[in-house]
């Protein structure tokens, strides 16, 4: 297969994603839903774009912001928590911003939260004054503490943050929380959320000034379409003209329906793109309101 495009070539777009981890499969699936396909290298670190000149670089998520900053890749799919932590590190070191969030991608949801032992009677953030807080996100935690006017010791750990209070390393923790099961297993409870996080498409702070600009614009259009229809269905049905005013309030999440007169009758055919769940209960409500011949279809693609 063809080797990776050298840095001097600027006619291909390179996107970094996790090689493995909680964002890896969803990131590749989302990009594939945009019509992208690849040939993977033997070492499974590089995927050469076949349908479009858009290549994938498979790396650790913590490396993605730095790769964008260094120009090794053009875009990346990474957790907002990782992106902002490294941005705050750059700012603290008085280095210029080099990457930003381009799009929220709607998967990998979690939150960066403060958690304290179950034995604490939690009242407010002032209880953290003078305490030791263990975290893998020292820049974000320090920024939050400063904004609250709190003086606390930030204990930086690279892993196993949740056991720090039991080991006597810290009084509280600041860590990513999804279900909360890990906190509960370590006799901790979340008390404050510092950041709502999810997977995002990250890119440089500026724009491209070569063929990558057109590729990036095309990718964003397709991403917007894919994200918009992720939970969408096309609803087709017929109804009398008199029934339509009573049917439209039952479609609050739908775009303006397309209405067509049925030849040889006074009936109408309607199609509506619904962006919420089209449940059996909802179909029954529409039928009672005068809809007939209800048909629900999946939406494979959409381009505004």
Considering the domain architecture, whether residues 239 and 268 belong to the same structural domain is answered as: yes
Query: Are β-strands 13-18 and 110-117 bridged in parallel, bridged antiparallel, or unpaired?
Result: unpaired
User: What's residue 166's pLDDT?
Assistant: 93
Q: What is the mean pLDDT of the chain?
A: 91
Considering the domain architecture, whether residues 208 and 87 belong to the same structural domain is answered as: yes
User: Do residues 168 and 132 touch, judged by C-beta distance below 8 A?
Assistant: no
pLDDT tens digits for range 11-25 = 899 999 999 888 999
- Among the candidates 147, 173, 196, a domain finishes at 196
Considering the domain architecture, whether residues 42 and 189 belong to the same structural domain is answered as: no
- Among the candidates 174, 196, 218, a domain finishes at 196
User: What's residue 196's pLDDT?
Assistant: 96
**Which of 5-9, 54-58, 79-83, 141-145 has the least mean pLDDT?**
5-9
Query: Distance between CA 188 and CA 182 in Å, rounded?
Result: 9
- Among the candidates 196, 211, 244, a domain finishes at 196
Considering the domain architecture, whether residues 84 and 224 belong to the same structural domain is answered as: yes
HEC string for the chain: CCCCCCCCCCCCEEEEEECCCCCHHHHHHHHHHCCCCEEECCCCCEEEECCCCEEEEEECHHHHHHHHHCCCCCEEEEEHHHHHHHHHHHHHCCCCCCCEEEEECCCCCEEEEEEEECCCCCCCHHHHCCCEEEECCHHHHHHHHHHHCCCCEEEECCCCHHHCCCCCCCCEEEEEECCCHHHHHCCEEEEEEEEEECEEEEECCCCCCCCHHHHHHHHHHHHHHHHHCCCCEEEEEEEEHHHHHHHHHHCCCECCCEEEECCCCCEEEEEEEECCCCCHHHHHHHHHCCCEEEEEEECCCCCC
Is 6 inside a domain boundary? no
User: Do residues 298 and 262 touch, judged by C-beta distance below 8 A?
Assistant: no
Is 28 inside a domain boundary? yes
pLDDT at 7 over 80: no
Considering the domain architecture, whether residues 19 and 79 belong to the same structural domain is answered as: yes
Query: Distance between CA 185 and CA 160 in Å, rounded?
Result: 13
Considering the domain architecture, whether residues 20 and 90 belong to the same structural domain is answered as: yes
Considering the domain architecture, whether residues 147 and 275 belong to the same structural domain is answered as: no
Sheet containing 153-156: give its strands across. Answer: 153-156, 132-135, 172-177, 110-117, 188-197
Residue 244 maps to which CATH number? 3.30.70.120
Is 4 inside a domain boundary? no
Considering the domain architecture, whether residues 171 and 66 belong to the same structural domain is answered as: no
Is 41 inside a domain boundary? yes
Is 149 inside a domain boundary? yes
User: Between the ranges 38-42, 76-80, 178-182, where is the mean pLDDT highest?
Assistant: 76-80
For residue 180, what pLDDT band results from cuts at 50, 70 and 90?
A: confident
Is 104 inside a domain boundary? yes
Considering the domain architecture, whether residues 131 and 23 belong to the same structural domain is answered as: no
Is 65 inside a domain boundary? yes
Considering the domain architecture, whether residues 82 and 181 belong to the same structural domain is answered as: no
Considering the domain architecture, whether residues 19 and 104 belong to the same structural domain is answered as: yes
pLDDT at 36 over 50: yes
User: Do residues 272 and 254 touch, judged by C-beta distance below 8 A?
Assistant: yes
Longest CA pairwise span in the chain (Å): 81
Residue 51 maps to which CATH number? 3.40.190.10
Is 3 inside a domain boundary? no
pLDDT tens digits for range 255-292 = 889 999 988 777 899 999 988 788 899 999 999 999 99
Q: Which of 46, 50, 52 is nearest to 16 (CA)?
A: 46
Considering the domain architecture, whether residues 259 and 279 belong to the same structural domain is answered as: yes
Segment 230-241 shows an average pLDDT of 89
CA-atom Rg of the chain in angstroms: 25
* Domain encompassing residue 190: 110-196
- Residue tagged 């005068």 (tokens): 290
And the tokens for 151?
Answer: 């003086």
Q: What's the predicted TM-score (pTM) here? A: 0.80
Tally of structural domains, the chain: 3
């Amino acid at each position: 297969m063809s080797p990776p495009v050298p840095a001097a070539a600027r006619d291909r777009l390179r996107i970094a994603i996790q090689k493995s981890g909680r964002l890896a499969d969803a990131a590749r699936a989302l990009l594939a839903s945009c019509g992208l396909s690849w040939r993977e290298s033997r070492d499974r670190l590089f995927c050469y774009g076949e349908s479009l000149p858009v290549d994938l670089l498979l790396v650790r998520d913590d490396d993605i912001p730095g790769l964008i900053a260094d120009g090794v890749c053009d875009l990346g799919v990474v957790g907002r928590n990782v992106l902002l932590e490294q941005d705050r590190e750059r700012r603290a070191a008085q280095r210029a911003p080099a990457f930003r969030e381009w799009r929220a991608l709607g998967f990998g949801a979690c939150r960066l939260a403060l958690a304290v032992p179950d034995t604490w009677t939690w009242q407010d953030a002032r209880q953290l004054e003078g305490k030791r807080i263990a975290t893998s996100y020292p820049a974000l935690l320090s920024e939050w503490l400063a904004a609250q006017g709190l003086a606390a010791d930030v204990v930086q750990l690279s892993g196993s943050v949740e056991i720090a209070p039991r080991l006597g390393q810290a009084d509280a923790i600041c860590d990513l929380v999804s279900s909360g099961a890990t906190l509960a297993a370590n006799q901790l409870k979340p008390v404050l959320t510092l950041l709502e996080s999810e997977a995002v498409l990250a890119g440089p702070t500026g724009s491209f000034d070569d063929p990558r600009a057109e590729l990036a614009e095309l990718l964003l259009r397709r991403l917007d379409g894919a994200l918009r229809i992720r939970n969408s269905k096309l609803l087709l049905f017929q109804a009398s003209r008199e029934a339509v005013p009573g049917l439209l309030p039952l479609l609050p999440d739908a775009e303006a329906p397309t209405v067509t007169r049925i030849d040889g009758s006074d009936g109408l055919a309607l199609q509506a793109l619904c962006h919420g769940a089209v449940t059996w209960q909802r179909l029954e409500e529409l039928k009672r309101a005068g809809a007939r011949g209800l048909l629900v279809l999946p939406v494979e693609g959409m381009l505004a």
